[in-house]
């Protein structure tokens, strides 16, 4: 079954090509599926199985691992299908799905028949809006674009309705973040016009994009999360990466944490983290 650009056929999901990426992805704890202690060993086992397969996808699969996850991606449907089938059949019984050849053929057909949507067009200088949880709109601007990745400014202005670019241009810059392009590519951020670039994209605490020591975030959602916290719509001190001042470090040097920010006591903080699945 395909849901939200994801094929759900096994104990693990297959992420399908979308506006942001033309590749198929599998992200999962392979050690858990294989009954191994470490993902390093689980990936080594998978690579050995692929090397010995008659349809060995040599050079067509990119793989890597971290402590809690293995990452696999390929540009071809038949390659990711082969990888997924081997993972399923090699999984311990608790995670293995017993599939007939007809069912496997249906899964392959779904992968081969998937049509990637074209990404939305966007450029440096574009001013965009995004929805806040209280129904208001927040605003930002694309300051730079390198290898398809945007650097964006979060602007200190919000409204219950769309406002003019000329009015948005007057807002101060709260933060400058190097981000993934997902919400621009998919239209999650609505481009409403183009303006002069309002700030140097390398002037934040995060450094120049792709420089050693610079900080970037994989999704545009991080900009929205910061906006929610800045406008006291969500907690400030939820402790991402174990740091209650995590959001403080995203602000421009001349911007301070709002005095009315939502600061949780220890009990409420723990409850919030549990409710939202925050483990980092």
Residues 6+ apart with CB under 8 A from 21: none
Model confidence band, residue 13 (pLDDT cutoffs 50, 70, 90): very high
User: What is the pTM for the complete model shown?
Assistant: 0.81
Residue 277 token pair: 């699945």
Sign of CA dihedral 207, 18, 277, 139: positive
Residue carrying the six token digits 């402790």: 239
pLDDT given at position 209: 66
Q: How far apart are CA 139 and CA 155, in angstroms?
A: 6
* C-alpha neighbours within 13 Å on the C-beta side of residue 230: 25
Buried b (16+ CB within 10 A) or exposed e, 128-154: bbbebeeebbbbbbbbbbeeeebbbbb
Task: Assess whether pLDDT exceeds 80 at residue 68.
Answer: yes
pLDDT given at position 213: 63
Residues of the chain with CATH 3.30.1360: 2-113
Residue 29 token pair: 């704890």
Calculate the alpha carbon distances from 18 to 5, 64, 118, 152, 187 in Å. Answer: 7, 21, 8, 22, 12
- In whole angstroms, how large is the CA radius of gyration of the chain? 22
Query: Do 190 and 128 meet the contact criterion of CB atoms below 8 Å apart?
Result: yes
pLDDT given at position 280: 67
User: What mean pLDDT do residues 49-65 have?
Assistant: 94
| Edge-to-edge strand list for the sheet holding 24-28 | 2-3, 6-8, 13-15, 24-28, 69-74, 62-66
- Strand-pairing partners, residue 270, are none
Calculate the alpha carbon distances from 194 to 36, 143, 176 in Å. Answer: 52, 11, 18
CATH topology of domain 2-113: Gyrase A; domain 2 (3.30.1360)
Q: What is the pLDDT of residues 106-151, one digit of tens each?
A: 999 999 999 999 999 999 999 999 999 999 999 999 999 998 999 9
């Amino acid at each position: 079954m395909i849901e939200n650009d994801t094929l759900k056929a096994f104990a693990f999901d297959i992420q399908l090509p979308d506006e942001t990426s033309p590749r198929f992805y599998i992200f999962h704890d392979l050690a858990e599926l294989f009954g191994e202690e470490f993902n390093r060993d689980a990936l080594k086992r998978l690579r050995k199985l692929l090397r010995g397969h008659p349809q060995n996808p040599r050079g067509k699969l990119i793989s890597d691992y971290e402590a809690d996850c293995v990452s696999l991606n390929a540009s071809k449907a038949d390659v990711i299908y082969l990888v997924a089938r081997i993972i399923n059949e090699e999984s311990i019984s608790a995670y293995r799905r017993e599939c007939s050849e007809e069912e496997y053929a249906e899964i392959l057909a779904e992968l081969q028949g998937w049509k990637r949507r074209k990404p939305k067009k966007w450029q440096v200088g574009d001013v965009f809006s995004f929805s806040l949880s209280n129904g208001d709109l927040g605003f930002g601007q694309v300051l730079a674009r390198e290898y398809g990745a945007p650097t964006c400014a979060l602007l200190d202005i919000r409204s219950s309705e769309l406002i003019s670019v000329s009015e948005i241009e007057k807002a101060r810059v709260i933060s400058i973040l190097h981000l993934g392009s997902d919400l621009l590519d998919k239209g999650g951020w609505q481009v409403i016009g183009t303006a002069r670039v309002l700030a140097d994209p390398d002037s934040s605490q995060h450094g120049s994009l792709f420089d050693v020591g610079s900080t970037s975030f994989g999704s545009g959602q991080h900009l929205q999360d910061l906006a929610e916290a800045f406008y006291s719509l969500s907690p400030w001190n939820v402790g991402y990466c174990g740091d209650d001042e995590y959001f403080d470090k995203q602000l421009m040097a001349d911007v301070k944490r709002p005095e009315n920010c939502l600061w949780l006591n220890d009990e409420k903080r723990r409850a919030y983290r549990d409710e939202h699945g925050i483990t980092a």
